[in-house]
Chains A and B, each alone.
Chain A
Amino acid sequence: MGELSDEMASAEAPSLTYRRHLENGKLGYQRCTNCSAAVFYPRTLCPVCGSGALEWRESAGWGTIYATTAVHSRNRDPRNVVLVDLDEGFRMMCRVESVAAEEVEIGTRVRFGVRRGEEDEPVAVFVREGS
């Protein structure tokens, strides 16, 4: 565990700890110290065993596309929405950047990054391996 994670152990809301990881360019997730489950989205209780003893970890940021859709809207390019399985054993919704929405394929290896959202908030994204 990094320094960042230690000092945030239980002092703030899970959503804010997650966001602080993003602000620092990191993808935070939780690991249950009782049953070892990887937990995402962040919670106050492990959904597998019920323990409250969750610790923050930093993901290495590598994952594989599990499911994908291209969302179409009038007068703009389709946007991609995916579910990514991270190597640490959790899944999250995200988008894959630098590729046409319809060309994102299940099974593709992707790497985590952070972009700024419409209100300058940090948003997790992925890019394809090698891009």
Chain B
Amino acid sequence: MSIRGKSAIVGAAESDLGNVGPGFTPLDLIGQATERALADAGLEKKDVDGLFSASVYYQMPTLSAGEYLGIRPRYSDATMMGGSSFVSHLLHATAAIEARLCEVALITYASTQLSEGGFRGVSDPPNPYETPYGPRYPVSMYALAASRHMHEYGTTREQLAEVAVAAREWAKLNPKAFMRDDLTVEDVLASWMVSSPLSILDCCLVTDGGGALLVTSAERAKDLRKPPIYLLGAGEAHWHRNISQMPDLTVTAAADSGRRAYEMAGVGPEDVDVAMLYDAFTINPILFLEDLEFCEKGVGGTFVEGGRIAPGGELPVNTNGGGLSYNHPGMYGLLLLIEAVRQLRGECGERQVEGAVVALANGNGGVLSSQVTALLGTESVL
């Protein structure tokens, strides 16, 4: 039995974003986002009976969020696989809703890392087979993948820079984006090198931010405030945790998660109007465009040339400005889904993709480790 079209996102909101200031906790931002998402949906807090969260702050994130929000869920899921977790939560919530284990699911996340002074990541114990060599986590791991892609396929730093420039062009159209000033390929190439071939402008932002999504059954979604955005299909996959265990650094598990999502949804890449591809680093969208079959393996660098993924281009990618220019609160996957929902509702103002009815969101976690792909659609494509 397929879960295609069985659930819908009915509420979506960000918390305050950027640099929220001293004293705020991630739970404070979760509170903001939850209130806004409930208002967006026309639901009340007492309607929520399923709670989904992941965190690098709280070891028991649904317990912390449930306590703060005053929610006593009958279904609780703290699946943690990095930035993709929240796309995974959408799939898991749909399964739980379909199994009648909950009816209204809240997926929420936030970080206040910037206000605390900088990047805050996971705190795994040292790995005796990697830590002694001093890779900078996580950028060096993505840099290794970029080096291999460049070696095998002739991908260039200029092509990587095109990803950052396209993201900035979209960000200029998003009032909530953190970085909105001009950016050129030359600027990216001239910025300071972090872990070659990735310079600082190949890397995502380090910001505060968070969000909340409300998911319910297709049946209940019909009577709520906003047009339901249906889950057409989703798939998850992970093949490794540490970069030295990734079988082929030019092929991510999105090849599996994407195929599973497309098969469930009954659509293909040619049907996608907006692609939200987790851009922690500029190499990511290039890998995901290939693995999600928007282009052949190896030609992702050529694909992004000439503004093809920028405003006015053939394929709108990361229309909020992405993790590179809009916001990246440590884990970014929830914000991918919020933008996908807004595009399909037609709420995106200057950056709206006209007539968008199918959106793809691909969450990435760890060091290209976990991939979760979701296809969302309006009622017209059910």
Contact = CB atoms under 8 A, between A and B. Distances in A.
B is bound to A: yes
B192 A117 contact: no
- Tell which of A18, A19, A67, A78 has the most Cβ of chain B within 10 Å: A67
A15 B125 CA distance: 14
Given A69-B147, A83-B243, A93 B195 contact: no
Interface string A63-89: 000111111100000110111000000
Contact of A72 (B144, B145, B193, B245): B193
Interface stretch (B29-37, B134-142, B296-304): B134-142
B199 to A, nearest CB: 9
A93 B129 contact: yes
Interface residues of B, number: 26
B128 interface: yes
Contacts, number: 77
B198 to A, nearest CB: 8
B345 interface: no
B189 interface: no
Contact of B144 (A40, A78, A83, A102): A83
Contacts of B249: 66-67, 83
Contact of A70 (B129, B196, B244): B196
Given A69-B195, A70-B196, A102-B196, A92 B129 contact: yes
A71 B195 contact: yes
A95 to B, nearest CB: 5
Contacts of A41: 128-129, 244-245
Given A92-B244, A93-B135, A123-B132, A67 B144 contact: yes
Nearest to B128: A15
Contacts of B144: 67-69, 81-83
Contacts of A102: 196
A45 interface: no
Interface in B275-329: none
Given A93-B133, A106-B148, A106-B151, 4 more contacts: A41-B129, A67-B145, A92-B244, A93-B130
